[in-house]
Structure 1
């Protein structure tokens, strides 16, 4: 019983840094306990507690908005947590013991499995990565520019390992190295900011309740109100107006829709970046970002990394469409073009929703961009840990790519994040309104 309680406590300590409480410093005692008790049962119970507490908010989407029976939803969720636990906790530990059980090797194996989990299976699940929490570390966080989030995981593990082994000189050397690395990254950004062009942006937090977005009839009733917000925004004479993912009920290609026509008319006053669903090539749905200006389409981006079950049903789980009406329908089609949308001096990368969690995709999209705009809708999860975890990724990506990030969310918190991972300005959760701010275009 004592060992079980310690494992549960360990899982709670790992969860709290990823919770909305933002107790990031508890990641160190959490990993310390993993180093102290490297056995399969401890890792199994610790991992299950960690994943269950951190991800229980996904049941909001399945139960509250998906109408799935709570007992069935939590049963499937528990199986998912068990899979993640074995994948991320028990497999690295098994390999570690097979490779001789040297403690210094455990951080490497854990991080390698974080990388693997980010891509396999079904496009991966790059969530709850230890290195994310380093975005809260004073000064050291800037080193993510060079280390990336996975290097941040190694850094946290080895800081804890050296403290566990009481190798304080080596610990001091590691902290000094990461501090100097972060200082160098910060100086690079400060230098780039000196000559960067200023851009005035207007971000719209539409705050449409998720239950209304799921009803086409109710969602369409918000069209006039949303267009009125756009009209108000363009009067501020911004260089760019940005709306969230699936901001309107109409399809982009529906040229006869009155709402679409009015949106194009408003684009004569300011360029508008908007997330919309579209149906092309027969009955193939796409989740996309469109930039319209001067009454015409400038460019678009189709979401590439689709969310399994949420946006498509992977093989061999197609039968679930017949079981759950909430996930029936056509699968979305993934995009293929990793490119920013270009308009005059603006090259804007537009990862959509969950895509912000993919290090390589955001890096590729941002390479030729000078601004990143993330269009999302976290209304599926209400004001929960899932929304907080999603927002934390935007801070990580801002530092890694050295660019301003516009976080444009239907529900909140819509925000501007600078290249140092700092929130410059944001709106409260589910407050409908317009955020006006100045950003800089960084190469």
Structure 2
């Protein structure tokens, strides 16, 4: 009998639990540790942030689902990982031992790295439903008394898709309220150009997104470093391609949503040979830590180095498609080990994103995620908006039913089929 412990119950942790339970032997125990009683569908947070969804709309209680799947659920925060002892320490001081550990914690949101950033400062966030919910309430108040808006992603950010989604969804909502003419919108980003996305662009994402911004009268500042945020004022340094200061901006705003940089969670930070200096988990091509061979990791919490430096630091995103491929590889590799074999499965690490803009959107596919690529494709249209809604409905159903089938398994081929038909 083996005890397989999964820490985290998000986009990575939940599929990991379901797939591992299906692949494990009858005598093995699968345990999930999470600090929340519910799963929440992170890709819907931009909708919550403009009050198009309520937090409860994108949540699923975990206890009934895990009970049905015969997965042990421990609702507690992990205080510290102890890889030398093969155990995790919980917030109440107790410990949970494991034979295999899968770390799927997601990131820590590094608001503290910029004065005044974040929900405890002067900007909103859609990285977590607990932030997006209050942001949606404040957005509703903003529409009653509008003013300038700043949306974007700060230095070190790696997940740019939600920033673009929130930007265009907010713009759509303003038009629906018939107050777009009263709101100046500025997009501020650490990307070297619009549509970089932490991926050096995918297809013509640069041209597509710039075109959307021009058509919708949105200004932008790239290569931007946010120095500090005060009530109603953001101080931004714009640099050139060599990193030299190009211009200092003082940007007034009445509403702002800025994505922060990510770090590893506190329970991981500083564990030598398990994590890098930012606290992200080090993994090999099989999602396994090179030092602690019985530890795997999936999702946003793993370390991926940028392909090349940018004038202002940017990270590499981990999309849902990529995370699901990590999960499937990890589950099969642990089963290999249970059967006395060496791990042989690898995640594809491809990027597929459905970026909803409220009434249209952009979809892109990068195979592999980092160039040079075998396939890169981008398309836009109203169909992306409906595809994103379909993705939300499917994934929520998957969690409620405890299904282990990957959503993205055949979607790239379907999207490329759509592309060929459109041509």
TM-score (norm 2): 0.25
**Larger RCO, structure (CA 8 Å, separation 6 or more):** 2
User: Which structure is higher in helix share?
Assistant: 1
